Structure 1
């Protein structure tokens, strides 16, 4: 069991979610009829059925209604219906609703806004997965087969099977799993599910597991690895997996439950506190919430106008960014052309070796002095002037052809005269 709450985002307090199975033919027609009836009675503001895609057999329905006393809080809900593979007349449904304010458990259940209310509540003592006239049509879709909403789910008599049911029910559950122990064999009223006594917003979010009087030791053995236990004649909430940060399982238990049809006020308080916890979202729930927010199509005129304005603002920002990028590119291109033109107009003073690093100004100055020094060593010293004390009248001359010791004809005539 993983108790880490850092692997997934927290579920928003405005989100209500449930999932289940629908048995029977043509569930999409049942949805259409119920949605149309609720819209005609002004319970719903509007509903829509998305076009069927050829890539997937799922059916998607959207509905919008208002809650609270003043009716100023809007709820948007999305139900996805998908046929179960290799099972005729059985469908999986996923329902996610989001309100404009934190969810109030006294608001109507979103399930009843899609599926019709049916007085088929009671104990399920048959084989798991088999339809039962005492159970609702919307069964809980979970890793443990046969679990149902708004019904009493008797725990298996075999210890290992009981442990498997409880462990699978806790893993990545969307719902609140409640284990109730019967202190004594209840009467007809005690065999009724507790869901009918819960507030509407909790009614379809609680899965009731019922342990018989003789199963107290076995059920506590199954709950031991989760760190909780159920008191005799009481109830406990199965810790979710992953559990919220700082979750203390024993705090969410009730010492006694009177199965006589009276309102279980202490249990309702515990369920409310558990439902209000900032719990990590399972990956499947995160995907469903994202689909509700990003693929919503049932818009009012004001919402359509607001969306169009958002699109215009996004297009304007994108166009401004493109214009700015174009101007920057043009400025960079002009600077590159100007630099290239200046380079072409400048005469080359030396031949650079390809790949050699450019010389620094100090190195260039040093090389210039070196060339000047080398040129001075090879130059002939200038002859002293006649009035120079070093002049003795016998200087060697260099001829026009560059041969030393040879005099011109005029110089020879001057010496002989």
Structure 2
């Protein structure tokens, strides 16, 4: 089923992110990540949290998620009747086998590149329908658009990095029927449990020579000034996550060492990365932040503006003067993050493609959505047929008027003025007639015919 789940056009990479879209990406380090998602989705649907879910066959996953499949795999086949009907009825579709799929004609099986894709649909507070797709990449590889220079081929990465990256990269895109509210449950909570979230929180920034960060833990800033400056530059260019720098005014106790990101609303999970600067790094971190036009107050925090800065970014509005590292809720920081994620921001590389795939290749369609889509097609075809009928009638009317005008011209000008061609001898082109396309115009000949028509009409009007 390739019916679009929405009527919105596909966003372009680098264009503004739709207000109803939530997106995140990271890396899972636990084994059997796809099996964990498969089992958890069943539990969530049995509990009534998720309305329906579906796992796509490897043959049904668009080739854009694994570019090398285009050379060896046939075009993606339509989903099986059993899986689509189960999704339409809201039941649990049977999990597809992980072995390579073969088409109905018994042709060569589709190469399995280790990419798994899951769809889920649930209702947010207020009855707003949310659709989401989670794509999990192969072991030791990257999905397209992860970072400059990172590709799907694990062999190439192992050669460039000296080792294969740990775990499997994932891409999660969700879209609601209205503007996304950060207070809604996180789409990540629909695909894997909170108690296992630590295994899904790894984020890579900065390309091949970048750094691995965590979205649920504290990320200590490096002591080396050059490494610190490079890391903050890589974080500013990261369009997937929101980066906040927190300075510790003094060495915190056990309560202050707890990550602030774990106290953020669920809708900000896997989207905010917390960087901590030690008390003695105050000058060094502000020296590195000068490149971005911001600075962190002593014992406070600042949200990085991005590169380029998001439209509407105000330095003072996203600078928190004091952050209490005593285990209390960081209210001022949460307000600043809510304000920041509401600013218009360009879609990062890979997110626009993920939204487009989810809209154009959505499989988990209900019966009501199928009927509504069929009604839209009927209306579209009827309008197209009406337009064709109107065009045909206009052409026919124009042709009849042209024939009438030609008959009247012949009748008024006489047979000698406009001789009809003989049927037995084909008309020979005049030697002086310029060839077609030479700039020859019929306008003088038409004016002469009009004058002859006016003269004949004047003779008939005489008494």
What interval of TM-score do these two structures reach, taking the shorter chain for normalisation? Answer: 0.7 to 0.9
Residue 250 of structure 2: aligned partner: 184
Alignment of 1:85-104 (within 5 A): 85-86=153-154, 87=164, 90-104=167-181
Q: Equivalent of 1:214, from 280, 285, 289?
A: 280
Residue 367 of structure 1: aligned partner: none
Unmatched 5+ residue regions in structure 2?
1-11, 60-109, 142-152, 155-163, 408-417, 435-439, 450-463
1:291 paired with 2:291, answer: no
- Residue 220 of structure 1 and its aligned partner are, at CA, apart by 0.8
1:81 paired with 2:164, answer: no
**CA separation in 1, counterparts of 2:288 and 2:191?**
36
Residue 148 of structure 2: aligned partner: none
**CA separation in 1, counterparts of 2:45 and 2:446?**
87
Per-residue CA deviations over 1:272-317 (Å, capped at 9, x if unaligned) read 1111112222242222222222222211221111111122233334
Aligned length: 342
Per-residue CA deviations over 1:228-268 (Å, capped at 9, x if unaligned) read 00011110001112322232233201111111111111111
**CA separation in 1, counterparts of 2:249 and 2:20?**
37
Residue 42 of structure 1: aligned partner: 48
Residue 116 of structure 2: aligned partner: 59
Sort the Cα spacing of 1:327 and 1:361 in 2 relative to 1 into closer, same or farther, 3 A.
Answer: closer
**CA separation in 2, counterparts of 1:7 and 1:93?**
19
Q: Equivalent of 1:260, from 311, 315, 326?
A: 326
Do 1:172 and 1:242's aligned partners in 2 also have CA atoms closer than 8 Å?
A: no
**CA separation in 2, counterparts of 1:29 and 1:191?**
33
Alignment of 1:226-305 (within 5 A): 226-305=292-371
Do 2:54 and 2:119's aligned partners in 1 also have CA atoms closer than 8 Å?
A: yes
- Residue 334 of structure 1 and its aligned partner are, at CA, apart by 8.4
Per-residue CA deviations over 1:350-402 (Å, capped at 9, x if unaligned) read 995432678769999xxxxxxxxxxxxxxxxxxxxxxxxxxxxxxxxxxxxxx
- Residue 35 of structure 1 and its aligned partner are, at CA, apart by 0.6
1:137 paired with 2:200, answer: yes
Residue 3 of structure 1: aligned partner: none
Sort the Cα spacing of 1:307 and 1:142 in 2 relative to 1 into closer, same or farther, 3 A.
Answer: farther
**CA separation in 2, counterparts of 1:332 and 1:157?**
82
Larger Rg: 1
Residue 452 of structure 2: aligned partner: none
Unmatched 5+ residue regions in structure 1?
1-5, 121-134, 365-417
**CA separation in 1, counterparts of 2:29 and 2:16?**
32
**CA separation in 2, counterparts of 1:38 and 1:180?**
36
Q: TM-score normalized by structure 2?
A: 0.66
**CA separation in 1, counterparts of 2:447 and 2:180?**
78
Residue 187 of structure 2: aligned partner: 110
**CA separation in 1, counterparts of 2:335 and 2:446?**
85
**CA separation in 2, counterparts of 1:48 and 1:362?**
72
**CA separation in 2, counterparts of 1:351 and 1:140?**
77
SS in 2 for 1:109: coil
**CA separation in 1, counterparts of 2:273 and 2:317?**
19
Question: What root-mean-square deviation, in Å, do the aligned CA atoms of Structure 1 and Structure 2 show?
Answer: 3.4
- Residue 170 of structure 1 and its aligned partner are, at CA, apart by 1.3
- Residue 330 of structure 1 and its aligned partner are, at CA, apart by 7.1
- Residue 41 of structure 1 and its aligned partner are, at CA, apart by 0.6
